Amino acid sequence: MNVRRRLISTTALAAASTLGIVTLSACGGTSDAAGKSSDGKLDVVASFYPVQYLAEQIGGGHVAVNTLTKPGVEPHDLELKPKQIGELGEADVILYLKGIQPAVDEAIAQAGVKNTVDAATLTELEAHGTGTGGHEGETAEEHAEHAGEGHAEEEAGHDHGSEAGADPHIWLDPVKYAEVAKGVGTALEKADPAHAADYKQNTDALVKKLGDLNTDFANGLKNTTTKTFITTHSAFGYLAERYGLDQEGISGMDPESEPSPARIKELQDKAKKEKVTTVFFETLASDKTAKTLASDTGLKTDVLDPLEGITDTSKGDDYIEVMRSNLAALQKALGAK
């Protein structure tokens, strides 16, 4: 994956060790022998927003969630402070997605927390390039059939989360995100058996919401003038594949990588051929290249949010609301009928 690596320095790790055991201030209280904080809640550390949302929705009032990536911080670029590294070891449950944040991956590996859940192991990962999507001219149903065939062929010997070049942006596909939600629910039940029934109930409710969201996307994008959309970085491969669309990323998986002149020319030609109307940019990364491309090709611009974090500029207060805003933006750009 073309993500700029932010490795934790030896100095930072040494400082974290010096700190010793640090209480999660955002979670309140220290952990007791039963693995819960003194206020009776399960201390959950989430690496960034997509897993934070799952923890909050499924955990409800039984968990206290602390996220490593604060609002407005681009997750790929996160550098952990020594205090944060030290706090990881005090968590009852750690939820993260391997491959998005190298600094977090390394720190979590050294934390040694028993209940550590990598969301990438809870669903099937795939490799996506800058151009990703369904087969040209096929219906959504035919595309789903193709996707199913591909998954069956890859099933044997597939190692979740470790395959080189695997796309980690699984949360942008409501179906895959629901699979991850089920795994997170199971992990919380295991970590806190006394409230297992509540976690199960909350998981079922969230999975239903995601199922409804999937239905709305499938119906809303079934008949469109074009299937191609251009976006800042290639975060929407799973979404494109799910609904038979063609994602064309200006850059690769890293939102701050610079596209080559050849790639810009390719996108300009693709836009004319596929009747593309809109170049999408996002809230946590620079919009300069997207707006320049749009200006040079006479296209409109709009926001397609990869939901790596929620800020005051997000078009919604949570995952479901922002995803519905994404659907409306795609329908408008693609000429949904």
Per-residue pLDDT at 35 = 47
> What pLDDT digit, counting tens, does each position of 145-159 carry?
443 333 333 333 333
* Gap between the Cα atoms of 98 and 185, Å rounded: 18
Q: What's the token pair of residue 320?
A: 């479901």
Q: Does domain 127-157+221-334 have CATH number 3.40.50.1980?
A: yes
**10-125+160-213 against 127-157+221-334: fold identical:** yes
Per-residue pLDDT at 53 = 98
Average pLDDT score over residue span 261-281? 88
Whether the predicted pLDDT of 194 surpasses 90: yes
Q: Which of 3-17, 58-72, 227-241, 245-259 is predicted least confidently?
A: 3-17
Q: What's the token pair of residue 239?
A: 């979404």
Instruction: Evaluate whether 334 touches 221 at the Cβ level (below 8 Å).
Output: yes
Q: What's the token pair of residue 8?
A: 């934790």
Per-residue pLDDT at 255 = 54
Per-residue pLDDT at 256 = 57
% of the chain exceeding 90 in pLDDT: 55
Residues 6+ positions from 99 with CB-CB distance below 8 Å: 1, 3, 105, 120, 161, 166, 168
CATH architecture of 10-125+160-213: 3-Layer(aba) Sandwich (3.40)
Q: Where are the domains of the chain?
A: 10-125+160-213, 127-157+221-334
Whether the predicted pLDDT of 166 surpasses 80: yes
Residues 6+ positions from 60 with CB-CB distance below 8 Å: 198, 202
Instruction: Evaluate whether 37 touches 90 at the Cβ level (below 8 Å).
Output: no
The β-bridge relationship of strands 131-133 and 246-249 is: antiparallel
> What pLDDT digit, counting tens, does each position of 45-88 carry?
999 999 999 999 999 999 999 999 998 888 988 899 998 888 89
Whether the predicted pLDDT of 132 surpasses 70: no
Average pLDDT score over residue span 317-324? 98
> In the structure, what pLDDT confidence band is assigned to residue 309 with cuts at 50, 70 and 90?
very high
Nearest to 306 by CA among 314, 298, 317: 314
3-state helix, strand, coil in the chain (%, to 5): 45, 15, 40
